[in-house]
Amino acid sequence: MSQQTEPQDIKKKILSTGIRVGTTVKTTFMQPFITKASPEGLYMIDLDKTLDRIKTAAKFINRMDFDKVLVCSGREYATTPIERFCEITGARKMLSRFMPGSLTNPSLPFYTEPRLVIISDPQVDSQAIIEATNAGIPVIGISNTDNVTSMIDIVIPANNRGRKSLATVFWLLAREILIQQGKLSESDQMKYEIDDFETKISDEEIE
């Protein structure tokens, strides 16, 4: 019954996650995705464009064998979102520090040959982008208002610093992939909610 209203429902669901809150800096690359600046001077990302790019990225990812899709991030808050994303889609993950030569040096034990690389931050994951580009591998990158995206093939404009926001982007992307595969309808609940994609801060109190 909620099929017509679904995009609206999704928007409502994700607005509070900070997904569209950028930084106080904007690059010319990210200018097309920015709507305005907030009173605090933060540039705001156009949510419609984010959702649109997630659809485009999902379409592109679905053309690949998922074991040839590599999701990289050196950002701690991206750990759980990427683990969940890979669990749902079957993509492979490379977390924390990207080892130089991973995509370019066949003599290394950790060398790998993906057909697509997904990164969570063009700045943090610059080594992965450089190697993917040198190896002719396309890159999908979640990019904030201050990122340089000249080497990114598909930009997903979003806040790529916040825990909740990173969880939301990977949740939306996994969901869209399943919808396009016909495994999930627009109105179906996914196995995991956004909260399940979120990296939890370790409680020192527990120790």
Closest CA to 177 of 37, 66, 25, 14: 66
Global pTM value? 0.92
Distance CA 98, CA 146 (A): 22
For range 40-55, the mean pLDDT: 97
**Would you state the pLDDT for residue 202?**
66
**Would you state the pLDDT for residue 27?**
97
Q: Label the pairing between strands 43-45 and 34-37.
A: antiparallel
Computed on alpha carbons and rounded to an integer, the radius of gyration of the chain in Å comes to 17
* Percent of the chain whose pLDDT exceeds 70: 93
Paired residues of 48 in beta bridges: none
Please report, as a single letter, which amino acid is at residue 31: Q
Closest CA to 33 of 8, 54, 12, 16: 54
**Would you state the pLDDT for residue 5?**
42
For range 25-42, the mean pLDDT: 96
Distance CA 101, CA 78 (A): 22
For range 148-161, the mean pLDDT: 97
Compute how many other C-beta atoms are within 10 angstroms of the C-beta atom of residue 39. Answer: 5
Instruction: State pLDDT tens for residues 95-112.
Output: 988 999 999 999 999 999
**Would you state the pLDDT for residue 203?**
60
Residues composing the chain: 207
- State how far the alpha carbon of 141 is from the alpha carbons of 109, 145, 148, 162, in Å: 26, 13, 11, 15
Lookup: tokens for 27:
């690059």
Sketch the domain layout of the chain as residue ranges.
Answer: 7-183+190-199
* pLDDT exceeds cutoff 70 at 207: no
Q: Label the pairing between strands 139-143 and 154-157.
A: parallel
Q: What mean pLDDT, rounded, does the chain reach?
A: 92
Contact 61, 140 (CB under 8 A): yes
Distance CA 22, CA 44 (A): 5
Angle, helices 47-61 vs 163-181, to 10°: value is 50
**Would you state the pLDDT for residue 2?**
37
Q: Cα-flanking dihedrals φ and ψ of residue 55, to 5°?
A: -60, -45
Give the architecture-level CATH label for domain 7-183+190-199: 3-Layer(aba) Sandwich (3.40)
No. of helices (H) and no. of strands (E), the chain: 5, 7
